[in-house]
Chain A
Amino acid sequence: LIEALRGPLALNGTKRGCGAGECGACNVLVDGTVVRACLVLVADLEGCAVQTIEGLAESAVPSHVQQAFIESGAIQCGFCMSGMIVAATSLLAENPSPTVDEVRAGLAGTLCRCSGYVKAIDAVLLAARYGKMARGMSAPAGLLRQKSVGDAIPRLEALEKALGAAVYTDDMILPGMLHGALLLSPHAHARIVSIDTARARALQGVRAVVTGADLPAGTRLGMLIKDENPLARERVRYAGEPVAAVAADTIEIARSALALIDVEYEPLPAVFSIDEALAPDAPSLHEDFASYFRVMDLGSLAKNELCHSKIIHGDVDAAFAASDVIVEQTYETPAQYHAYLEPAVALALVDALGKVTVWSSTQSITRTQANIHEALDIPMAKIRVIAPRVGGGFGGKSEATVQIFAVMLARAARRPVKMVLTREEDMTAMRSRHPARIRVKTGATKDGRLTGREIEAWVDGGAYAEESPVIINVILFFCTGPYRFDAVRGEGHAVYTNKLRASAMRGFGNPQITFAVESQMDELAAALGLDPVDFRLKNLIEVGDRWLGGQPVRSGGLRECIELAVERSGWRKRPRGGCAVGDRHRRGLGIGLSGHISAFMGSSAIVRLLEDGTVALNTGSVDIGQGGDTVMAQMCAGMLGLSVDDVRLVQCDTDASPYNSGTNASRSTHTVGRAIGVAAQKVVDQLKARAAILLGCEADRLEIRPGGIVAMRDGNSSLTFRDIALFAVNAAVGGGPIIGTGTVMQNEPTDPSHTQMEGMLSFDAVGAFTFGAQVVEVEVDRTTGLARVVEAWCAHDVGRAINPQAVEGQIQGGFVQGLGFALFEELVWRGGHLRNPSFSGYKIPSSLDVPYSIHPLIVEVADPSHPFGAKGVGEPPLIAAPAAIANAVADAVGVRMRTLPITPERLLCACIEPSVFRD
């Protein structure tokens, strides 16, 4: 059914997230019952009524359920929304007044990776209320006020996402478009002896077959180390590495052709773990490593090591000597899969002049453009990259993958080519979070003052480096956590193995190190006999202190975050050591703090005044579902005294947009916001200058007033933006059309006299520090070992909440990704082969796996560098969660879990009780 809906019927609101009934993005109603469209045959539906998301609205007027999802802020990337809204509609039809738990149960199995489900549940409850109101009373549209900075407004594009009308890359069809399929290596490590594509080419309907031999000689990809051929040449280094690609008239033909590509492999010995890779007799994965181009100092390397970093501040040995208590432990974290609901997808078109246009699901149009250029040696001026709606990224779509294959095939076939990965392919060939092993040693005096810390960290980078050097750098950079230390020494190793390349993922190394060091803070507190909160409060880093590296912390509301989370959770009223709930369950509370950054790399913005007095805002910053578009528009509106309705966002398009490095590193609100501030201020200055001419006064006597008005501060004269815009574009005097541009690059040099660094990227552009505190309540079932989060209080200092509703959604969704990372998410390989490449094998949280009570607590301590004081909150909510959960488990059952995920099996084995087994 899903093929029929999305194909001939062009009802693209029904999404394909897995093709196996496991995600719910394709929920539709058949004779009023919700089913998965991907599990239904059209031939079996004769005489049945099928209703899709498109059929829920009446002539583009949203149903009360759709309206409730819009208003509740439940819609983020939107890719799961059709399925979610269809499920909610059916739930409410059967039960018009559901309880929270009935809603949780009703939405179960329809996966959302962005929201953490809380706002989706709110939406259903709101829809239930609307359902009871008289028709016509529902959904008051004009309830929103100013719609500028600080207002909790729904996403600008929420309506189209709720209606199923938002266009994602896979919803696009071009005339003559072919379908691409990818051949993946079955071997974890092998020499490619030969590839014969003749049989595949001969298959009717096949239009192009490309292999590594079709890549320009000598080009290699890699953000920091150029070590990867987008299609394997001579050698494959992980099972799942792309080897060849086919374009054909249909996807079925393309897939059939893959089986006709004859590849002869000569298997090579492989390494699947950090220890195996670093063993003296290990096979070398990249013998030519020394010749690879790299953009940074990688330190002095052992075999299969791709980065060896060191960071030293003060005299650690002296600090340990002055300590009364020293704790040393090793912590491990797994490969987490990004699990965006929209699999990797790209559509490429090559015109007669050789210009390439690519629509794709990406976190960065500029990185995608650069990657295509690097891989295929096409001048960047001939590559145009556009981002339609993006169904989630979480770091996994930072660098290009399928885009390159789609372009290769489109050039070879001289026809447009779309390539969409299946869920299994996406899990096998895209990316994961870096598995890490971190040894941490920390000293403290008996009165609870931290002295020194030493860490050694290893990350498994997989077969290619991509961002691995920065990941290990970031792990070292955040190894203090938000605390003061006399001395710190860190050493980090990023290592090649014959596994899927690891990459950026929400938090970028910080969740791994924070799990380790925040777990150890509790262990130290226990050793000192101190309450974990009190111990932390004694050692907090303060505004004006210097972070590791030597840069000052210029703003931060960490103390406020802790106070809020502690107070709301009732931490002080609860005994440490947990409490029993019935015979077989125990509950406990845990805390975790996070320090992170908000920035890195360059951003820019162009603000243009249009003739009607509204503005066009162009930043090139892709909204991957986090709400960037809305927040950018709010900041632009806020600078100009307009409503977001008066701000037109320009679609991200490398032909039009200014440079933005990407939607990463919790950076958009902060750095793009700063660029918007600069650009909008220029518009303000120009508005005043033109108005001064028109009003015959000095520009400094003028002010901007809400509603697009420039007025004399001490008089009655005023002009609308429209008046000024018309003057600016038509009058010979005044300087012409009004446009403001801004570019921003953080430059806060690290200080070698404070901290010595080796094998590290420059951290001069690190940006503003951000802080958070989370308290989590966990319940452990002592019979099965299952740990469940019962409630969470997540306090985050965001500087200024440009859109509190979006901030709450980020906090809840980020926390839930951290919950999954802490308790059950783990990609598992055996012999180099991924054992769980599906949503049935790899579990992400569903609505019944997370509590409804995830309290987002917003703290606002303005950052001086941002026009509104705002800092990012994309990553922080995930970073503290695993440690807070592990600390809560320890509180509940007295067992310290140092390996994630804390699966029931691991926990049961750790707190094994003979009575349970009756042996």
Chain B
Amino acid sequence: MTQAETRFFTPHTIAEATGLLACGMHYRCLAGGGLLVPALRDGLPLTGVISLRRVPGLRGVERLADGRVSIGAMTPHAEVMCSDLFCGGTALVRSAASAIAHPVIRNMATIGGTICRADPAADYASALLAAGTAVHLRSDEGERVVALEDFWVADGATILREDELLVAVSLPADAGIGGSSYVRFSRVDGDYPVASAAVRLRWQDGRIVSARIAIGGCGPTAYLVEEAEALNGIATLDQVPEALARAAVERAQPRSDIKGSADFRRMLIPGLLDRGLRQALAAAP
């Protein structure tokens, strides 16, 4: 196998892992393997692979003392979708996890790997964005916490430095309040979505007090629809406000690919938004 020519590291602490990243040898981290292993088989020249499998503390979902929910970078989707720590405003994270690919892939693929791949069509992309997720990046110099919308730069590009390791993502302490939804459309089951919509609503005295909406698959990154605040004060939804639907479409910069044309993606956005809002409202208390 190709890996014989590539050094293989199995660090047992985060510090060991970041130390390897800091040594300037362009080592790559191995998470679920879905991208890296086929690339190695195809002859991708790599000096070294750092397996994160044995690094303690990178896997699992937990509620922190301050109320935030933290998801370790090496947590596979199957574990997220089975966790009971997601509810209300964060239930969409679990919905997104359960929509990713197929059961076997969900056993392998991790949230950290998905975020670092920065595929704007990934189910997590719009869902985590709407959930208000922050990413925790560790290096020998310490940890920085970055909002997800600032982490992704473009399709496949992030601000992750070569000496940094994404160790976890966290959801804000109050994110669980309210209702949320994740809706997607794909050609067939388990395919990457052509487009997706993620909605997080907060509710007070029968009215929406805040709304966070993200659209995936329709631009170089998933994006937030800032016009979502137009929903504030609304009690029931007969129709998605036209300005909001229009804004969601206008913010899109989709490209055409094998899954569908750019126009088709624009066509899908209002319908998915409508579906997402209705589901989130239905989920609100």
A interface with B by C-beta (< 8 Å):
3-4, 19-21, 24, 27, 33-36, 38-44, 46, 87, 91, 105-106, 108-110, 252, 255-256, 584, 783-784, 786, 824, 828, 835-836, 840-841, 843, 845-846, 848-849, 903-905, 908-909, 912, 916-918
Contact = CB atoms under 8 A, between A and B. Distances in A.
B271 A27 contact: no
Contacts of B271: 584, 783-784, 916
**Residue from B49, B105, B185, B242 having most chain A Cβ neighbours under 10 A:** B105
A256 B260 CA distance: 35
A786 B189 contact: no
Interface in B135-191: 185, 187-191
A109 B104 contact: yes
Contacts of B239: 918
B240 A109 contact: no
B15 interface: no
B13 interface: no
B3 interface: yes
A762 to B, nearest CB: 42
B34 to A, nearest CB: 6
B189 A849 contact: yes
Contacts of B102: 24, 108-110, 846
Contact of B104 (A24, A46, A828, A845): A24
B80 interface: no
B8 A87 contact: no
A918 B1 contact: no
A815 to B, nearest CB: 16
A44 B51 contact: yes
10 contacts: A21-B34, A36-B104, A38-B38, A39-B32, A43-B8, A843-B187, A904-B187, A904-B264, A916-B267, A918-B239
A372 B43 CA distance: 32
A39 B187 contact: no
B116 interface: no
Given A38-B37, A41-B37, A916-B270, 7 more contacts: A34-B103, A41-B40, A91-B103, A108-B190, A836-B258, A841-B258, A904-B260
Interface residues of B, number: 48
Contact of B33 (A40, A256, A908): A40
Given A42-B1, A843-B191, A905 B104 contact: no
B185 A87 contact: no
Interface string B213-253: 00000000000000000000000000110100110000000
B212 interface: no
A315 B24 CA distance: 82
Given A39-B33, A43-B51, A916-B270, A905 B264 contact: yes
Nearest to B32: A39
Contacts of A44: 8, 10, 30, 33, 51, 53
Contacts of A909: 264, 267
A38 B104 CA distance: 12
Which 7 A-B pairs have CB atoms at the shortest separation, nearest pair first?
Answer: A109-B102, A783-B271, A848-B189, A39-B33, A905-B264, A43-B8, A843-B188
B275 interface: yes
Given A27-B104, A784-B268, A41 B34 contact: no
Nearest to A843: B188
Contacts of B32: 39
A836 B191 CA distance: 13
B107 interface: yes
B218 to A, nearest CB: 14
**Residue from A19, A105, A783, A918 having most chain B Cβ neighbours under 10 A:** A918
Contact of A109 (B40, B101, B194, B270): B101
Interface string B72-110: 000000000000000000000000000001111101100
B199 interface: no
A256 B270 CA distance: 49
Contacts of A20: 38
Contacts of A845: 188
B189 A108 contact: yes
A110 B102 CA distance: 8
Given A34-B103, A110-B104, A918 B258 contact: no
A214 B187 CA distance: 45
Contacts of A21: 34, 38, 105, 108
A106 B271 CA distance: 29
B47 interface: no
Contacts, number: 137
Contacts of A35: 104, 107-108
Contacts of B275: 584, 783
Interface in B36-51: 37-38, 40-41, 43, 49, 51
Contacts of A110: 102, 104
Interface of B: 1-3, 8, 10, 30, 32-34, 37-38, 40-41, 43, 49, 51, 53, 101-105, 107-108, 185, 187-192, 194, 239-240, 242, 245-246, 258, 260-261, 264, 267-268, 270-272, 274-275
**Residue from A87, A252, A784, A912 having most chain B Cβ neighbours under 10 A:** A784
Contact of B43 (A40, A91, A255): A255
Nearest to B275: A783
Given A784-B271, A824-B187, A41 B240 contact: no
A174 to B, nearest CB: 22
A255 B194 CA distance: 34
Contacts of B191: 840, 843
B112 to A, nearest CB: 15
A753 B40 CA distance: 65
Contacts of B33: 39-41, 44
Contacts of B8: 41, 43-44
A584 B49 CA distance: 49
Contacts of A849: 188-189
A3 B270 contact: no
B78 to A, nearest CB: 8
B28 to A, nearest CB: 12
**Residue from A27, A42, A840 having most chain B Cβ neighbours under 10 A:** A840
Nearest to A845: B188
Contacts of A19: 38, 41
A105 B103 contact: yes
Contacts of A256: 43
A100 B34 CA distance: 29
Contact of A87 (B40, B103, B246, B274): B103
B270 A905 contact: no
Nearest to B266: A917
A293 B266 CA distance: 53
A260 to B, nearest CB: 13
Contacts of B101: 109
A835 B261 contact: no
A684 B107 CA distance: 58
Given A39-B33, A783-B272, A108 B3 contact: no
A601 B32 CA distance: 51
B30 A41 contact: yes
Contact of B267 (A36, A786, A917): A917
**Residue from B107, B258, B272 having most chain A Cβ neighbours under 10 A:** B258
A236 B226 CA distance: 53
A257 B1 CA distance: 16
B109 to A, nearest CB: 9
Given A105-B103, A109-B190, A786-B185, A41 B268 contact: no
A110 B107 CA distance: 13
B1 A848 contact: no
B38 A41 contact: no
Nearest to B260: A905
Contacts of A33: 107
**Residue from A40, A783, A836 having most chain B Cβ neighbours under 10 A:** A783
A808 B94 CA distance: 39
B97 to A, nearest CB: 14
Contacts of A108: 102-103, 189-190
B2 A252 contact: yes
B122 to A, nearest CB: 13
Contact of B187 (A106, A828, A903): A903
